[in-house]
Amino acid sequence: MTAYAYYPGCSLHGTATEYADSTRLVCQALGIELHELADWNCCGASSAHAVNPWLALGLVGRNLRLAQQTGLQQLVLPCAACYARFKETQHALQDRTTAAQVAYVVGAEAPTDLDIEPLLGVLSQPAPLAALQARLARPLTGLKLAPYYGCLLTRPPDVTHFDDPENPQTLDNLLRAIGAEVVAWPGKTACCGASLALSRPDLVQDLSGKLLSWAEAAGADAIVTVCPMCHSNLDTRQNQIRRAHKGDHRLPIYYITELIGLALGFEPDRLGISRHVTEAEALLAQKLTPTPAPASLLEVSHG
């Protein structure tokens, strides 16, 4: 197994436990060993940098120190917002004055040489892809899916260094690898409104509603994301959008790890799909043939 230092972020321990559960199951099945950082703290996403930039950098700097202490060179993050904050901090630390100030805030020098990867990138590497193809138990044939990267994973490109900022393909290719049909649509890197859901819910309704409309117009059965904040806005706000008479959307929103887990043979309940606010199980029952997971995967523990 390939070992990674692992930063789950606040959402995966709170509102996005289904992302955490499906991440753990899929990574174990594909030979990815996750070592969660001991005593990690919030990275500050998404507003800390607007309130106190030095504290925001210090929050990530402390986590980078914790990752360094694992002795592992590679750090993986499932959340696109967390990934953006970590990469922004790593970029800022290239400046000596900034690095010194962050060291003062953290109480120690923050490392600048860790290999920080989004979970999407790790899952798309050759070894996990080969393991996925070898263990594919239930191809998602018949599902038409809109890949949604959001606005943080690929931008700014000179900071994130992940895929094409306007037309990324990593998620598209991973969906094709599990048998799904990828639809072309204009919203794959557009903003959902992010944390403005708290201060300007009207804007989030407009932005997320537009994404839902675009995906539906493209013929998608569902949207697939890699960001808990994006998932929250697109999944939980559909009732609000309907009440505001801004669209009658009932589109399932999945995490990529949930769909990979389905393709590996895990059942929806074990992956946490039943916890979604917008109903997401009926589509799977309609489109996919039930297939028991191989015995080797059933041995993956719940704990």
**Which fold does the domain 2-120 belong to in CATH?**
Glutathione S-transferase Yfyf (Class Pi); Chain A, domain 2 (1.20.1050)
- The number of beta carbons lying within 10 Å of the beta carbon of residue 298 is 11
What angle, 0 to 180 degrees and rounded to 10, lies between the N-to-C axes of helices 80-92 and 53-69?
100
Cβ atoms of 171 and 225 closer than 8 Å = no
Measure the CA–CA gap between 177 and 134, rounded to whole angstroms: 11
| pLDDT confidence of residue 302 | 45
Q: Of the CATH numbers 2.40.37.20, 3.40.50.11810, 1.10.760.10, 3.40.50.1820, which one belongs to the domain with range 138-297?
A: 3.40.50.11810
Question: Range(s) for CATH 1.20.1050.140 in the chain?
Answer: 2-120
Q: How far apart are the first and last CA of the chain?
A: 19
> Which token pair is 187?
């919203």
Question: Range(s) for CATH 3.40.50.11810 in the chain?
Answer: 138-297
| pLDDT confidence of residue 303 | 44
Q: Provide the phi-psi class of 32: left if phi over 0, else alpha when psi is between -120 and 50, else beta.
A: beta
Give the phi and the psi of residue 75 in degrees, each rounded to 5. -120, 125
Measure the CA–CA gap between 101 and 98, rounded to whole angstroms: 5
| Ranges of residues in the chain whose predicted pLDDT is under 70 | 290-303
Beta bridge partners of 115: 74
Give pLDDT tens digits for 203-241. 999 999 999 999 999 999 999 999 999 999 999 999 999
